[in-house]
Amino acid sequence: MSGATQETVAKRSRRVFSAADKLRIVQKADRCLTQGKRGDLEAMLREEGLYSSILSAWRTELGMHGAAGLATKKPGRKPKLTEAERTNVALMKRNAELERKLHIANALIALQKKAHELLGLALPESDDES
C-alpha cells in the first residue's frame, strides 16, 4: 500500500462556545429539566454535541461568577509575571551581562597597560583621558 493511496483527514479544531451560547444551552437544559419529560436533557445534549460534564461545569461557573463567568478564558496557567515585570527581568539580565563584559574589558585594559610597562613600550596617547 503506497502513501499515495492513503487518504488523510484533516484534524477537526476544538469547538469554542461564546458566553451567549453557553448561557443559551444552560437555560435550554434547565427548561428540559423543568418540563420533566424523560430523556429530554439527554436528547438536547446529543443535539448540541456536548457531554453532561461540560454542562455541569458551565452551571458551576454560572453559579459562582454569573454570566461573566461563562466568558471564554485563555487555556493554561496564568502567567506568573506581567508584561512589565517580564520586560524588567529581561533588562536586568541584559544589564548584568553588560556589566560582566565591562569588567572583563577593564581587566584586559589593565593587563595591556602592565604589558606595556614591562616591555618598556610607550603607550599611545588617548584623547579621552584628562
Domain coordinates of the chain in residue numbers?
19-70, 84-123
**What's the distance, Cα to Cα, between the start and end of the chain in Å?**
83
Cβ–Cβ under 8 Å, residues 99 and 45: no
Cα separation, 123 vs 116, in Å, equals 7
Q: What's residue 4's pLDDT?
A: 62
State pTM to two decimals.
0.51
The CB density around residue 109, as the number of other CB atoms within 10 Å, is: 10
Q: What's residue 79's pLDDT?
A: 80
Q: What's residue 3's pLDDT?
A: 58
Q: State the SS3 of 8-31.
A: CCCCCCCCCCCHHHHHHHHHHHHH
Cα separation, 38 vs 29, in Å, equals 13
Q: What is the pLDDT along the chain (130 residues), one digit of tens a residue?
A: 555 677 788 888 888 888 999 999 999 999 998 988 888 999 999 999 999 999 999 999 999 888 888 887 777 888 888 899 999 999 999 999 999 999 999 999 999 999 988 888 776 776 665 4
